[in-house]
Structure 1
Amino acid sequence: MSGHSKWNNIQGRKNAQDAKRGKIFQKLSREIYIAAKAGGGEVAMNPALRLVVDKAKSANMPNDNIERAIKKATSGLEGANYEELTYEGYGPNGVAILVEALTDNRNRTQTNVRVAFTRNGGSLGETGSVSYLFKRQGYLAIERQGLSISEDEMLEKVIEAGAEDLQTYPEVFEIYTEPEDFPVVREALAEQFTLAQEELTMVPQTTVSLNEEQKEQLAHLVEKLEDDDDVSEVYTNFVEA
């Protein structure tokens, strides 16, 4: 895996996402609810819940919101019956797009996702049409500014932690893990460094570049997909050249 930095893509989208903080909190509440419902409300005993709670705190979600979502999931009261869905499609120049959703109404979500694709220069594909182009991995980023550690020294620490791959860029170290190893690697590295980013994500195994017009088209399509309340994540295999 080489040639581009996921970190740059993350930072490029961060400002736009900040403007949608209320909607982000709503989506995070659903993720917390799902994790707590499946594995219990004790953060220390539920790795999936711990990950999404950390994600919520990184987004500056108030503790009251987090605790409310956990309590709702573990109170024994009947609530929304959410299910996790994945949609696959294409954007400009054949860019592969994966859409992950949490929904209590499958028909509503499928209709909204399809409309977002067709009205914004994309097309919804069949199951399996693009998912093979992505791999589920743990991802961690450590900013290099202020660190006095060489690439070889970092590689040694990453291997000791149990990670799969290290990518080095001028501004950041990027570490990739197998999903099942992510909690252990994350904990080991968090004891030694400040983690700028940590997530389970879908990493493209092949990538596509776009011209400026196509970039704008893709950004608009992704924005419309992310605007849907049921959509939790959107992944593409576009990278900046």
Structure 2
Amino acid sequence: MTVVGSQLSIWELVSEATLLVQFVMLTLLVASVATWVFIFERRKVLTTAYHRFASFEERFWSGMDLSQLYRQINANPDADNGGEHIFRAGFKEFSRLRQQQVTDADAIMAGCQRAMRVAVSKEMEKLDQHLPFLATVGSTSPYVGLFGTVWGIMNSFRGLASVTQVTLSTVAPGISEALIATAMGLFAAIPAVIAYNRFSARSDKLVANYETFAEEFAAILHRQAHLLAGQGRKQEVAE
């Protein structure tokens, strides 16, 4: 395990490493590349979700008739707008129960809230996509790199057994090769941990906004459900 020349380039160290250490480095490199791909992808998804939800809330609280808003959203649905999905789920269930002439306000509200909880859960799954991978890379990459380091150092010391005179130039290549694995492990883990913590916090905040909106929308539907129930009782008395 010797390197020609007085200077030790990273490429020479990697090419001179054992197959196992090279496999560890390749694994960490793939994990690092995938981590950065998911970081940019999650950043785009979360930023878009925040902006689309803020835009939807402005429309919702603008005083527009809910039936008109529902027709507009159905005519031009936005796949990236979590607020629209929750609104559509709740209002669709509300309209369906009205068409079935259900007059029990509690039964109507139970169905609407159940539909909106399912919609919120689906949005949560979208926001949390790829976050487990970032958490896995962040927690395991340092240990994978450490394994490559330990193996490289062990292999370096085995190579010294046949050397009569040990010098720094004899030890340096093997030690440097081993430390590269640790460096690559940290290079993969640090961005993954930072991104996971940041994206998890943003995802939790957005889900909390979704749940708050669902509760506010449920309160509006609750008033309409009781109004419809009251009208139904008046018609029964009149008959």
**TM-score calculated relative to the size of structure 1:** 0.21
Return the structure number with greater helix share.
Answer: 2
TM-score (norm 2): 0.21
The structure whose residues are more often strand, as a share, is 1
- The structure showing larger relative contact order (alpha-carbon pairs under 8 Å, at least 6 residues apart) is 2
